[in-house]
Amino acid sequence: MVLGIDPVEVISGSLPRRQQRLVEAWAELHQLELIEDWERLQAGQVPFPIEPLR
């Protein structure tokens, strides 16, 4: 599954409904961190770790 981060939305692929909701909720909670890491990667820098789903 490919997920956009701004806005958080499914771009392609799929997961079972429950897992998809968990991934989307995690991405919404960590949206700013994901955006910052994307910018770091685009600048050739190493991304910061983001807390996993628990």
Beta-carbon count within 10 A of 51 CB: 9
Query: What are the φ and ψ backbone dihedral angles of 51, each rounded to 5 degrees?
Result: -55, 130
User: Which residue has tokens 């799929």?
Assistant: 14
Per residue in 3-41, pLDDT (tens digit) is 999 999 999 999 999 999 999 999 999 999 999 999 999
Confidence of residue 1 (pLDDT cuts 50, 70, 90): very high
DSSP of 18-47, one letter per residue? HHHHHHHHHHHHTHHHHHHHHHHHHTTPPP
Q: What is the pLDDT of residue 54?
A: 81
Q: What is the pLDDT of residue 44?
A: 98
Q: pTM of this prediction?
A: 0.89
Answer yes or no: is pLDDT of 48 > 90. Answer: yes
Distance CA 27, CA 23 (A): 6
Give the amino acid at 14: S
